[in-house]
Amino acid sequence: MKNGFLILLILLSAVIGSASAQRKPLTFGVKAGLNFSNANDFLGSVKDGSITGRTDFTGGILLELRPISVIGISGELLYSGQGYKAKGSYVGADFEQDVKLHYINIPIMAKFYLLPFLSVNAGVQYGINVGANVDVKGMSIKPEFKTSSFGIPVGASVKLGPLLVDARYTFGVSNISKDSALSVLRGDVKSSIFTVSLGVCF
């Protein structure tokens, strides 16, 4: 038991020492992963209303400035596939919406290193809507979406050598639909995204 704990301690010390020795003040990298996106319950009192999420691709480039060992600042430029599916009954008619949105997201994150290879991260994100695929059934109103959005991403990263593993949750704080597009449903649409990604840093 003691020998196993000692071996584990030695391995952990080696990993920490290696990560610390490899720290760079400026890092460039690429990353890719999966978005698990959804929207808030904007359907309100719509009968039998439900909203489900969708899974899509995200990927892009990153840059991190780490002037001291315990604090870093990162910026990313990412393609992000997002969206949701909604259904319900309004004025006696069933409807369905299948929404896929294409964003260029720019998150700026502060990174606080608890260990040389482990950080907790928080920041702000600006998103540019570059396209939307919307399939609507049972409604004459087709949702339209604003050209920009804002979010608050929080998460954690593990970096071992050139490899980066990142997980974050982005809280949508702005209404992504145009003011009158979903007035029939009486609700703003705010997106939420859980993202898991892998990256390589140089």
How confident is the model over 43-98, as pLDDT tens digits?
665 666 788 899 999 999 999 999 999 999 999 999 999 999 888 776 677 888 89
- The residue with greater pLDDT, 167 or 20, is 167
> For residue 121, with 0-12 CB atoms within 10 Å meaning exposed, 13-18 middle and 19 or more buried, which class applies?
buried
Cβ atoms of residues 85 and 96 within 8 Å = yes
Residue 181 has pLDDT above 50, yes or no: no
pLDDT in tens, 7-25: 655 555 544 454 444 568 9
Q: Note whether 127 and 106 are within 8 A (CB).
A: yes
Domains and CATH numbers, the chain: 2-201 (2.40.160.20)
What pLDDT is stored for residue 133 in this prediction? 93
Chain CA centroid to CA 138, Å: 31
Q: How far apart are CA 46 and CA 27, in angstroms?
A: 49
**Residue 114 or 179, more confident:** 114
pLDDT at residue 95, rounded to an integer: 80
Percent of the chain, pLDDT > 70? 78
- pLDDT computed for residue 122 by the predictor: 98
Kindly state the tokens that stand for 158: 């593990």
DSSP state, residue 138: S
| pLDDT at residue 200, rounded to an integer | 98
Q: How much is the average pLDDT of 174-193? A: 72
